[in-house]
Amino acid sequence: MARSVNSIFLTFLYISLIYTLSPYVNATTSQSDIQVLVAIKTSIDPFSITPDSFLSSWDFNLDPCETTGASFLGILCTVPDQVDTNATSRIMEIDLEGDGLEGFLTSSIGNLTELVTLNLGRNKFRGPVPESITNLRKLTSLQLYENFFSGSLVDDIGVLTKLETLDVSNNRLSGSIPSSITSLRSLTRLDLSNNEFTGKFPQLNGLWQLSSFDISNNQIYGNLPQFPLKIKTLSLSHNLLSGHITPVHKLRHLSTLDLSDNRFSGGINKGIFMLPELSHVNVSVNRFTVFEVVEFSDKKSQLHTLDVHANRLHGHLPVNLVTYPNLTEINLGHNLFSGEIPSEYWSRLGFSWRSLNLEYNNLEGSVPRELNRTLEGVQGSFEHNCLICPKGLQLCHGQRTASECHGGDHN
C-alpha cells in the first residue's frame, strides 16, 4: 500500500514540476506546441521513461526548437520566417520509436497542425487513437505500429489527404475499415495487419498510388475488391476471405502475393503466372481445386517461391513448373495430386530447385537412385505418398504402407 501511495505521489510531483517549469521558457517555439509536448510527456508513465529514451531528453527549461546537442531528441521543427519577427518555430516531426513508453496518446496531439511525421512505433501506448489526429492535415507519415491501441480506426481518417504512409499494425484495433480511407490518394504504404478488424473491404481503387497493402491476421470476410493497379506487395493472409482471386490478375506490378489461410476456392489460374514481376506466391491453406501452370518461355519471369500447400488440388503435378528459370522453392504438399512425379523435376532438384515439398499427396512410381548424389543441401519432403524410394534418401522417409496405397483413398 505504501509503495502504491509513493508511486502516485512521485507521478504527481513529476507532472507538477513539468507544468511549473514550462511557462517560464523564453521560447521561439510556439507556446501551443510546447504545451502539446508537455501533455505528451505527462501522459506517459514516468517509470517507463528510461535514461536512454528520447523522451528523457525533453527538458522544458530549454526551447524545443532552439536547443542543440542531446536535448529534445526525436523532435524536428520548421524554420520561422526571418522577415516576420513574430514568427515562431513549429513542431513538424515527432519520432519516439522503440522508446518502450507506456501510457496514452493525448488528444492535444491534434494541435500540432504543422506536424508532418508522427512515429510512435514499438512502444506500449494503449487506449484509442484520438479523433483529433484528423486535425493534422499536413501529416505524410503516421506510424503507430506495435502498441496496444484499441477501439476503431478514426472514421474521418480520409481527411489526411497528404498521408503517404499509414502503419497501425500489431495493435488491438477493431471494427470495420473506414470507408473514407479511399480518399487517401497520396498513400503508398498501408499496413493494418495483426489487429481485430472485421467486415468487408471498402472501395480501395481510389488509392491509385498504393504500392504496399498488408491486412493479414484480421477477420476480414467477403470477396476481393478491385485493387489499385500499382500494388507491388499484397498480403491478405489469415482472414476469412472467399470467392475467386481473379482481381489479382490485373496487378501487373505485383511482386509479392500472400493469400494464405483464407477460404478462397476455384482455380489458381494461369493469370497469376503471367504476371511479369511476381516473385513470391503463397496461396496455401485455402480451398482451391484447380492448378493451371502456363508454360513460360520468356526468361524474364521473376517467380522464385511458390507455396500452394494444404488446398484441394488434384490431377498430375504440373510439368510446366520447370519452365520458370528463377524458381527455387516449391511447396505442393498436403493436396490430392496423383500419378508419378514428372521426370523433368529430377534435373532441377538439387540444382536450381533448392526446396521441394510433395508430402501428403497420392503420388506413386519410383524415385531415381541418382538423387542421393545431387540432393545435398536440398530441403523438403516426399513423405506419406506411395513412392518407391532408393535406400537412404531422407526426403522419401515415411511412405504409406502397401495396404494404405492399394486401399483406394490415400488421404
Give pLDDT tens digits for 236-255. Answer: 999 999 999 999 999 999 99
Q: How confident is the model at residue 6 (pLDDT cuts 50, 70, 90)?
A: very low
Q: How far is CA 52 from CA 49, 104, 335, 375, in A?
A: 8, 20, 53, 50
> Residue 244 corresponds to which cell in the numbers above?
475467386
Instruction: Measure Cα distances from 20 to 24, 233, 248, 270 in Å.
Output: 8, 50, 58, 69
DSSP label at residue 353: B
Q: What is the mean pLDDT of residues 193-210?
A: 96
What pLDDT band is residue 376 in, cutting at 50, 70 and 90? Answer: confident
Confidence band, pLDDT 50/70/90 cuts, at residue 69: confident
Torsion of CA 362, 366, 368, 374, to 10 degrees: 20
pLDDT of residue 84: 61
pLDDT at 393: 87
Q: What is the pLDDT of residue 359?
A: 97
Helix and strand totals (H; E) in the chain: 5, 27
Where do the domains of the chain lie, and which CATH numbers do they carry? 242-410 (3.80.10.10)
CB 221 within 8 A of CB 240: yes
Amino acid symbol at 389: C
Distances (CA, A) of 316 to 291, 332, 364: 10, 11, 11
- 241 vs 255: CA distance, rounded Å: 21
The amino acid sitting at 255 is: S
Q: Are 75 and 40 in contact (CB under 8 A)?
A: no
Type and span of the H or E element at 256:
strand 256-258
Query: Which residue, among 398, 314, 305, has the nearest Cα to 352 in the 3D structure?
Result: 305
Give the pLDDT band of residue 5 (cuts 50, 70, 90).
very low
Tens digit of pLDDT for each residue in 117-155?
999 999 999 999 999 999 999 999 999 999 999 999 999
CA-wise closest residue to 260 among 280, 238, 278: 238
pLDDT for res 409: 54
Q: HSE on the CB side for 265, CA within 13 Å?
A: 6
Place of cell 480501395: 204
Say if strands 141-143 and 117-119 run parallel, antiparallel, or are unpaired: parallel
Backbone angles phi, psi at 288, to 5 degrees: -65, 145
Q: What is the mean pLDDT of residues 362-388?
A: 88
Taking only the tens place, the pLDDT of each residue in 94-120 is: 999 999 999 999 999 999 999 999 999
The answer to whether 276 and 250 are in contact (CB under 8 A) is no
**pLDDT above 70: percentage of residues in the chain:** 90
pLDDT at 9 over 50: no
Q: How many CA atoms lie within 13 A of 306 on its CB side?
A: 25
Average confidence (pLDDT) over 170-184 = 97
DSSP 8-state code for residue 177: P
Quote the mean pLDDT of the chain.
91
Half-sphere exposure of 246 (CA within 13 A, CB side): 3
Element (H or E) spanning 10, and its range? helix 2-21
Least confident piece of the model among 53-62, 81-90, 156-165, 226-235: 81-90
- Residue 373 three-state SS: helix
Burial-class residue 309 by CB neighbours within 10 Å (0-12, 13-18, 19+).
buried
Give the pLDDT confidence of 283-314 residue by residue, as tens digits. Answer: 999 999 999 999 887 667 899 999 999 999 99
Is the predicted pLDDT of residue 4 greater than 90, yes or no?
no
Query: What pLDDT was estimated at residue 15?
Result: 43
Query: What is the number of other CB atoms lying within 10 angstroms of the CB of residue 16?
Result: 11
For 47, the 3-state DSSP assignment is: helix
pLDDT band, residue 12 (cuts 50/70/90): very low
Confidence of residue 185 (pLDDT cuts 50, 70, 90): very high
